[in-house]
Structures are given as C-alpha cells and as structure tokens.
Structure 1
Amino acid sequence: MRRMKALKWVAGMMLAGAVATGVAHAGQIVVGQVAPMTGLEATQGRAYAVGMELAFQAANAAGGVNGNTFALVRKDDGGRPEDTVAATKQLLAEQKPLVLAGYFGTRNINDLVASRILEQDRIALVGYRVAEIRPESPLLYSVRATLRDEINKLTEHLATIGITQLGLFYEENKGAPALLAAADEAAAKAKATIVAKAGYAVGSNKADDAVAALVKAKPQAIIMVSTGAAAAAFIEGYRADGGKAQLFAHSGADVEQLLKRLSEEQMHGVAIAQVTPSPYKISNRLTKEFIDLVAKTAKLEVPVSYSMMEGFIAGKVIVEAVRRQKGKPSREGITAALDAMDSYNLGGYVVGFKPGMHSGSRFVELSIVTGAGKIRQ
C-alpha cells in the first residue's frame, strides 16, 4: 500500500510539473486587424472581423491550441490608405500581434507593402481584399481565389449562354493595366470582346461617367470589378438611365451590401462571383461548423454574410498555422507553417500555399439575386 501511495505521489508530481511547464509556455496570441470599421466598406470590415472571432472563440472553447488562446485586436482605418499604415504601426508597437489579418482596399494594401512594415517586423498578413490583379508578395497570404480566377469564371459562364459583347466597370488603381489585360485575355479565350471599359476614381463611388459610357456602348453584359459602394452607385445609375445589359460583379462588391442599398427591382438578375461557400446553407463540414457557431452566438455585431465566412476561413487558417508550430509560436513560425500548408482541407474548402505562391484557393461559384431579393447559387 505504501508503495502504491508513493507511485501515485510521483505520478501526481510529474503531472503537476507537466501542467506547470505547459502554463509557462502558454499565452494569448494576438491577431491584429486594420480595416474599415466605419465608412463605405464598414459592413464588410466588421463582418470579416466577426468571422475571425467565431473561429478564435471555437478554438478557445476547445482549450486553445498547444495551451494558447486567441484574441483579435481591431483598428479602424475608415478605408483610408494613410490611416492603414499609421494604424498598423501603432498596432505593432502597442499590441505586438503575432500575425495580421483581414485588411481591405487596393491602395491600402499597396501602401502597406510599400512601407516595408511587414518585412521590418517579419509579420505575415493572412486574408485581405483588393480589386486588382497584384503580384505575389512574400508576407501576404490570400485565403480566396484570385481576381483573375473570378474574371475567367465570369467570362466562361457568359460564353456558355451566348453572350460575347462585354463591358467592364473597374477601379482606376495602379493595378488597372494588369486587370484590363487579364480581362481582354479571358474574353479572347471565351471568344468574346470587351466593347467598352469605364473606370472610376480610387476610393470613391462616383460612377456617373462610367454609367454614361456603358449605356452608350450597349454591351450585352457588364463585369463590375469594384467596391460594393461603387457597384451600388453604378447599378443605380445604370438602371435609372435605361441600361439593359446583364450585370455581373466580382466578389468584392459584396452582395449583402448591394441588397441593403438597392431595391429588389434594381438588383433583380444581378450575378456575383463568390469565392467562399455560401454562409446561408449547409453544403459541407465547413459551412455546418460556421452555421452552428452563428446559431450559438447570442447577438452578432453584423448580419451573416460572405465576408463573415471569408473571415471565418482566415481565422481557421491562422489557428492551423499556430497548431503546426512546435514550442512557443512566433512570427517566423507562422510564416514557415503557412508556406508548408500545401493542401489544408477545412471541410470542403481547401487552402494551399507554397513559397512564392500565396494565393490560397481557386474556389469560385456564381450567385444570382432573384426577383424576391434572395440569393440563389
């Protein structure tokens, strides 16, 4: 009996030592987000944040990852590029996040990359939205399909229904030449022609000139590569001026935002490329997990949306990158884990990265707005 008690005492001491060691290495992992929490794109920025928080709360409720829990710290840039850079510097200095996530805006991302903050602090940015075809950047990781993938999907679909005369509405940013070239290439492959291209100023939603140009050109269909605010302004003006073309938007236009700003009549028949599975129906294990978590949440900050699903995916990728590290998580460890994440299946949605290839998905499907203002795949 004495021997048994002694063995139990030793086992207890060993367990206590293991627990103490785990606590010593455990901590809170801060994820930093600088995005529009106010302004034209605030709904998307906040929805993306809520999606990440759902993923982090699920990981925390399960005991964390290797003894670590997750916390999201947000800062508002109002969509202004200069504020994105300044807020990121402040975030890095004060909260010292392990990783950044959920950024928005073409100029915002370009200015952030040009500032070299990511390289100087050796920190990765996982999950972002831009309206351009941009080159790969060493510390930027996208969890969505590329804009090129979306344009190819849209033009291929149009070709199958006999639509060959296209218009293009786009943001006049630094990446516009690459976008226009990609659109021409995709149209040529589909044996179609872009008969008119009309842009709008970066950071605005002034679409009057573009509306006039595309109404005059009379294409059969118009592809919109723009923010949600600009797409809403274009659709409103185009419908009001008698435009008859079918309207197709890339995923950044955010169907929920359009439905909120425009009438059912204006939105009827608008098709939008989606780069995540629908957040409204269970189609795989990922969507079931998301919908179950939403149902358990007492009060969501913003309504469920595709942006929220994308944020959820980004959050799960970050959790997995931490899980794959041995010992105390580090910024360098996050980057190494992401670069080795060749084919990570989240449950029906696959994300994969390699060194020099940071566009993590090829998933694109189309949704269309019905006469009742409902979204149908």
Structure 2
Amino acid sequence: MRQYKQLATRAILAGAVALGGEAALAAQVVVGQVAPLSGLEAAQGRAYAAGMQLYFNQLNKGGGVNGHTFALVKRDDNGRPEDTVGHTRALLAEDKPMVLAGYFGSRNIAEVLAAGLLEKEHIALVGYRTTELRAQNPQLFNVRATLRDELQKLTEHLATIGITRLGLYYEDGPGAKALLEAVDEAAGKARATIAHKAAYPAGTARAKQAVDLFIKNPPQAILLVASGAAAAAFIEQYRSAGGAAQLFAHSGADIEQLAKRLSEEQMQGVAIAQVTPNPYKISTRIGKEFNDILARSPAPDVPVSYSMIEGFITAKVIAEAVRRQGARPTREGMQNALDAMESYDAGGYLVGFRPNQHNGSRFVELSIVSGAGRIRQ
C-alpha cells in the first residue's frame, strides 16, 4: 500500500512539473510596429495599428494561441526614414519583439533593409505599405497584392471603357525606375500609352508641378501611385485648376483619407484599387468577423477603414504563424512558418507564401466614389 501511495505521489508531482513546464512555455508574443502615428500618413498608420490590436485583443480574451498572448508595441516615426531605422533599432533592443508589422513608406523600408536590422536580428516584417515595387527579401512578407497587380487591374479596367491615353503621377523614390517599367508593361498589355509622367518628391505632398503638366497636356485618365497625402493634394489642386481627366489611384492613396480632406465634388468619380475586402460590408467571412469583433469591442480611436482591415488581416497571419509553431514560437520559427504558409484562408481572403515568394495575395478590386460621396464597388 505504501509503495502504491509513493508511486501515486510521484505521478502527481510529475504531472505538476509537466503542467508547470507548459505554463512556463506560455509567453507573450511581442509584435513591434514603427509607423507614422503622426504626420502626413498618421491616419493610415494608426488605423493599421488599430486593426492589429482589434484582433490581438480578441485572441487574448480567449487565452491567446497555444497559451501565448499578444502585445502590440508601437513607435512613431512621423514618416521619416531615419526615425524608422532609429526606432526599429531601439525597439529590437528594448522590447524584444518576435515579429515586426505594419510599416509604411518606400524609403523607410529601404533604409531599414539597408541598415541590415532584419537580417542581423533574424526577424520577419509582416505587412507593409509602399508606393514602389520591391524585390523579394527573405525577411519581408506582405499580406496584400503587389503594386504590379494593382496597375494591371487599373489599366485593364480603363481599356474596357475605351480609355487608352494615360498620365502617371508617382513618387520619385528609390523604386521609381522599377515602377515606371511596370506601368509601361501594364499599359502595353492593355494597349494603352502613358503620354506624360510627373513625379513628386518622396516623403512630401508637393503636387503643383505635376498638376501644371497635366493641365497643359490633358490625358483621358491619370494613374496616381502616391501616398494618401500626396494623392489628396494632387486631386484638390488638379480639380481646382479645372482638370477633368478621370483619376485612378492605387490602394496606398487611402480612400478614407481622401474623403476626409476633399469635397464630394472633388472626389466624384475617383476610383481606387483596393487590396482587401470592403471593411464596411459583411458579404465576406472576414468582413463579417471584422465587424462582429468591432461591435463587441470598445470604439477604436480612429474611423473604420481599409487600412484597419488590412492590419486585422496582418494580425491573423501573425497569429497563424504562431499557432503553427506550437509551444515554443521564435523569431526564426516565425519566418519558417510563414515560408510554409502556402494557402491560409483568413476568412474568404487567401494569403500564401513560399520561399522566395513573399507577396501573399492577388486580390484587387475597384472602389469608385459616387456623386453623393459614397464608396461603391
């Protein structure tokens, strides 16, 4: 009998140690974001963060993923590339994130890569927005369609309505050459021509020179591959100067930011490529999930937007990569899990990565602003 009790006691102790070991393995997954939380692109940066936080809060209420909860640590770079690098370096040293997410800006990301921070720290950056085409990088994972996909969608749509004489307004950043080549390629496939191209200085919203060019040489339509602030400045000045060409913007222009700054008359007929499902509708599973969680949560400090649902999708992808690692998620494990995520269904929105293929989606649709200032697909 005594021997039986001793064996039983040992079994209980062993179980307690095992449970304690599992509890010890459960930890907080820190997600680091360095983004424009103030400045020209603050609306998008803050909305992206709000979308990630919305999903992480929901997970944490249910105990997290494999017992791991999530914490989003944010730092404001005000859109300045040098601050993006400095804050990223400090965040990596002080907050020890397992993954980075929600970065903005072509030059900002280019300088983070040039500084070697991602490679040195073996850390992935999941979800980002730029106004250029980026070469594949082992540490960069995007959850949206590429700019090339957006350009093809825009030029194909224009071709179907007989518009073939186009203008291009774009950011004169480090990826401008690749962008111009992609625009020419997309236009060629649609049997269109880019009659005039006008750049604005990277990191600014100085549009006057481009406006003057397109007023003097009017195309049928103008493609805007610009930040939200730069696109808004162009539309405002172009319409005020009497410009009548149809305007088609890539997703980075942010339809909510445009609608907030511009009048209904200035916005009428503007079309914007969108790379996520509509956040205002529940016609998709992810749209319903997003809105259901919103309804159960405290009101966010920013309006609902496409940037917000993109952040929500990014958080889902990160959580899935953590889930696939089991009890011991790591920085290296995040990258391996993402590389193996060939077809993840985030709710009717598919995200897929493979080694050397880190553009996660091909989803693109057009939003058009009606005469009443409302968004319609």
TM-score normalised by L of structure 2: 0.96
Q: What is aligned with 1:243?
A: 243
CA-CA distance at 1:256 after TM superposition: 0.2
Percent of residue pairs identical = 65
Q: What is aligned with 2:78?
A: 78
Q: What is aligned with 2:171?
A: 171
2:26–2:327 CA contact under 8 A, matched in 1 = no
CA-CA distance at 1:8 after TM superposition: 9.8
CA-CA distance at 1:7 after TM superposition: 11
CA distance in 2, matches of 1:248, 1:24: 53
CA-CA distance at 1:169 after TM superposition: 0.4
CA-CA distance at 1:16 after TM superposition: 4.0
Q: What is aligned with 2:299?
A: 299
Q: What is aligned with 2:133?
A: 133
Cα deviation digits, residues 86-126 of structure 1 (max 9, x gap): 00000001000000000000000000010000011010000
CA distance in 2, matches of 1:290, 1:81: 31
SS for the counterpart of 2:355 is: coil
Letter in 2 for 1:201: P
CA distance in 2, matches of 1:286, 1:13: 45
Cα deviation digits, residues 251-288 of structure 1 (max 9, x gap): 00000000000001100110000000000001221111
CA distance in 2, matches of 1:287, 1:227: 25
- The residue correspondences of 1:78-97 to structure 2 (distance < 5 A) are 78-97=78-97
More deviation, 42-51/291-300: 291-300
Q: What is aligned with 1:341?
A: 341
Letter in 2 for 1:162: G
CA distance in 1, matches of 2:213, 2:12: 78
Cα deviation digits, residues 137-181 of structure 1 (max 9, x gap): 110000000000000000000000110110100000111111111
CA-CA distance at 1:19 after TM superposition: 3.0
Letter in 2 for 1:302: V
The answer to whether residue 184 in structure 2 is matched with residue 192 in structure 1 is no
Q: What is aligned with 1:282?
A: 282
SS for the counterpart of 1:154 is: helix
CA distance in 2, matches of 1:13, 1:330: 29
CA-CA distance at 1:327 after TM superposition: 3.1
CA distance in 2, matches of 1:363, 1:6: 62
CA distance in 2, matches of 1:289, 1:12: 42
CA distance in 2, matches of 1:348, 1:214: 40
Unaligned runs of 5+ in 2: none
Letter in 1 for 2:194: I
CA distance in 1, matches of 2:39, 2:121: 28
CA distance in 2, matches of 1:50, 1:6: 54
CA-CA distance at 1:13 after TM superposition: 5.9
Letter in 2 for 1:238: Y
CA-CA distance at 1:217 after TM superposition: 1.5
More deviation, 7-16/362-371: 7-16
Q: What is aligned with 1:262?
A: 262
CA-CA distance at 1:299 after TM superposition: 2.0
More deviation, 293-302/10-19: 10-19
Q: What is aligned with 2:117?
A: 117
CA-CA distance at 1:15 after TM superposition: 5.6
SS for the counterpart of 1:132 is: coil
Letter in 2 for 1:262: L
**Alpha-carbon spacing, 1:163–1:63, altered in 2? closer, same or farther (3 Å):** same
**Alpha-carbon spacing, 1:320–1:163, altered in 2? closer, same or farther (3 Å):** same
TM-score normalised by L of structure 1: 0.96
CA-CA distance at 1:21 after TM superposition: 2.2
CA distance in 2, matches of 1:99, 1:197: 38
CA distance in 2, matches of 1:344, 1:277: 16
**Alpha-carbon spacing, 1:8–1:74, altered in 2? closer, same or farther (3 Å):** same
- The residue correspondences of 1:318-333 to structure 2 (distance < 5 A) are 318-333=318-333
